Structure 1
Amino acid sequence: MVYKYRVTDGRAQEGHYGLTLAKMMHLPPNILERAGKVSQKLRSMVESWRHASKSSEIIQYRRRLAEISHRLVHVSQNMAELEPNVIVGVLREIQAKSVLDLMDQHHFASTP
């Protein structure tokens, strides 16, 4: 017997390797048909989860931008009451927190 494949660490590069294996094992057509339908349903579910996840990332990003905007508006409304060095300090804090928040958002968005 000659094997075309070797077992290695990691994910399979081919899609539907289970269906391919089932066909090679000559399983009955009704089982192969049902397996194909289940596979299609799972693929559809994964795609909808990915879409929902991407929408959630966009919402989180926009929420963080709105929070930054709110902080800046608050500072601008109170500038007349603050010393220039206090304003600079507050703006630096807002900048530092905003950069960290957006970097954190980017990190989670790019994590598989």
Structure 2
Amino acid sequence: MGSTVGQAMAKVTLHMLHTCPFCWKVRGLIEYLKLDVDYVSVNGLKIKKAVSFAGDWGKVPVFTDESGQYHTDSTPIMKFIDENYNAGKLQSSDDDSRIAQWLEWADTKMSKATVPILYGI
């Protein structure tokens, strides 16, 4: 995590799988903050190849910042985005347990609802 890819990736990008709830968790924050990010759809059968620049991670989401540094795993990506594009406002609460509660909710409850919502199941 946190390594740099080639200069060709100077645009902020999010490599994501359309059906991945953790990708949508990150995308939700990006859209909430109205960030200018290119979304790169990844073929579910070729994820490891598509994100091979991220080393052994082999999963999505992968967020690449304007310096070409990539970040992996949804919660650390969200924290990075908040700190670097939102002045840490989302994490500035004095109530760490509430922040942890919301992150857990996003990982456990929201993640289970994402695919049915996307496909109308």
For normalisation by structure 2, the TM-score amounts to 0.27
Answer 1 or 2: higher relative contact order, Cα 8 Å, separation at least 6: 2
Which has the larger Rg?
A: 1
For normalisation by structure 1, the TM-score amounts to 0.29
Greater strand content:
2
Greater helix content:
1
